[in-house]
Amino acid sequence: MFSSRPVKIWIAGVLLIAIPVILFFDRLYALHFQHIQLHSTIETFGGITVCLISLMLYLESQASLNAQLIMLATGFAAMGILDISHAISKPGDSFIFLHSVGSLFGGFFFASVWFTHGRRMRNLFELRFIYFGFAILSASVGLRALLFPGDVPRILPLYDEGFTVIAVLINLTASFLFFLSMMKFYKIYRQSGAKRDLLFVYLSCLFGIAELIFPFSSPWNGMWWVWHLVRLTAFTATLVFVFRRYRRRLNEDGFGAGERGES
């Protein structure tokens, strides 16, 4: 059943992020802290976390052929693969390109909830084709950007450390798609009251905020680290929830199988 309490907590959480960012924007923007190893660690952990989330959602979607779950699993897979590629790339155009494309892929698959909610895939082949097809596509984009960084579109201006209009538009589009998906997940949550739907409301909101902060940052300044931490928080919270849910289902299946064996 729908409860307004989690929504109030969600609003409070958003304000908890937004108010300090607005109040300390000048100082955060002026702060410069370049630490490639720390950045790589955060992005690698985030990428691996997202891939684990993707795998658990994929396994769950196989049992029910749930179209919404497989699209979310695919979005997580694309984001995870491209985030790991971003983590091991050298600073430069490909470095920003890989993050931006990963976010755009994620936003696209999240926003697909408007068309996939309540639908089922026709068969396992179609489900696997979508999931592994986009996973391979993401891996090929990441590998090409790493091996041939000169082929990546120019994302950073030549003489300063800002972002080009292309980079800003990509991330703002991703932000719009995440916020669009948040609206649908909130509508679904009002109907179902399910914790998982509420989680995706939170998640879409955090991703949307992170991508919205991106245009107001520059590489290695304080705002740059803020949106990294927002994304990392979203990834970690989701992994904990999905893992607990998956473990609970395994325990229930095992308990049911034990009962059938005893009978």
Domain-embedded: residue 27: no
Per-residue pLDDT reduced to its tens digit, 3-59:
556 656 656 666 667 777 777 777 777 888 888 888 899 899 889 988 988 998 898
Domain that holds residue 243: 34-249
- Residue 147 lies inside a defined structural domain of this protein: yes
Nearest Cα residue to 56 out of 189, 174, 48: 48
Q: Is residue 155 part of a domain?
A: yes
| In-domain check, residue 47 | yes
pLDDT of residue 4: 57
User: In this structure, how many other beta carbons lie within 10 angstroms of the beta carbon of residue 29?
Assistant: 15
Confidence of residue 260 (pLDDT cuts 50, 70, 90): very low
Say how many CA atoms lie within 13 Å of 97 toward its Cβ: 22
Listed residue (85, 190, 234) closest to 148, CA to CA: 85
Residue 159 has pLDDT above 60, yes or no: no
- pLDDT of 67 above 60: yes
Residue 20 lies in a domain: no
Q: Is position 151 within any domain?
A: yes
150, pLDDT greater than 70: yes
Q: Domain tally for the chain?
A: 1
- Residue of 144 and 240 predicted with greater confidence: 144
Domain harbouring 130, CATH code: 1.20.1070
Q: Quick one: pLDDT at residue 111? A: 95
Mean pLDDT estimate for the chain: 83
Residue 19 lies in a domain: no
Helix, strand, coil share of the chain (percent; to 5) = 85, 0, 15
Q: Which residues contact 240 (CB under 8 A, 6 or more apart)?
A: none
Question: How large is the average pLDDT for residues 115-137?
Answer: 90
Q: Is 192 among the domain residues? A: yes
**So what's the pLDDT on residue 262?**
41
pTM score, two decimals? 0.84
3-state class of 32 per DSSP? strand
